[in-house]
Structure 1
Amino acid sequence: MCQVEFEMACAAIKQLKAPVSDQEKLLVYSYYKQATQGDCNIPAPPATDLKAKAKWEAWNVNKGMSKMDAMRIYIAKVEELKKNEAG
């Protein structure tokens, strides 16, 4: 059940037309990575690569979270973004 909803949320987020803040993008990214790959398994990028460092830090915060929990939170966040877009 959760896997199907997760895949639908992954498709839905690509359809959003309203702008999404960088902070929200990082949050969604971090739960997506946790849900699909588990704990962050790559070394931290250099501090000079700001974008990669922000993405790594966002994902690494979720260390220890189960893939199912990350999927549930991802789905909820996408639903929230869809509601905000609908007004």
Structure 2
Amino acid sequence: MSTFEEAAQMAKDQLPESLPNEDMLALYALFKQATVGDCNTDRPGMFDQKGRYKWDAWNGKKGMSQEDAKKQYIQLVHDLKAKHGTRS
């Protein structure tokens, strides 16, 4: 199993850039929860749809410990790598 830092690098360098939005949002939310903790910003305005989706995903992890978020992030990266393969 990887460390959180190794998994983050693997996600950046090896996972396909064309992952489904749901997978990208899950990665984003777990990464932010693992590195920052609970969401600490206001929800973006209605004209920033992408920002709202990201904020909602991260805010959905509220209350999860940073350690649990790191473990789930590592597992998700490995699952996505197995499901979608790696970049060519």
Structure 2 counterpart of 1:51: 50
Pairwise CA distance, 1:17: 4.9
Structure 2 counterpart of 1:28: 27
**Structure 2: which 5+ runs fail to align?**
none
1:7 aligns with 2:33: no
**Structure 1: which 5+ runs fail to align?**
none
Amino acid in the other structure paired with 1:48: F
Pairwise CA distance, 1:16: 2.4
Aligned residues: 84
| SS of the residue 1:65 aligns to | coil
CA RMSD, Structure 1 to Structure 2 (Å)? 1.7
CA distance in 2, matches of 1:9, 1:81: 11
Larger relative helix fraction: 1
Asked if the contact 2:4–2:71 (Cα under 8 Å) also holds between the matched residues in 1, the reply is yes
Structure 1 counterpart of 2:37: 38
Q: When the two structures are superposed, what TM-score results if normalisation uses the length of structure 2?
A: 0.88
Pairwise CA distance, 1:15: 1.9
**Mean Cα deviation higher: 29-38 or 7-16:** 7-16
Extract structure 1 runs of 4+ deviating beyond 3 A.
Answer: none
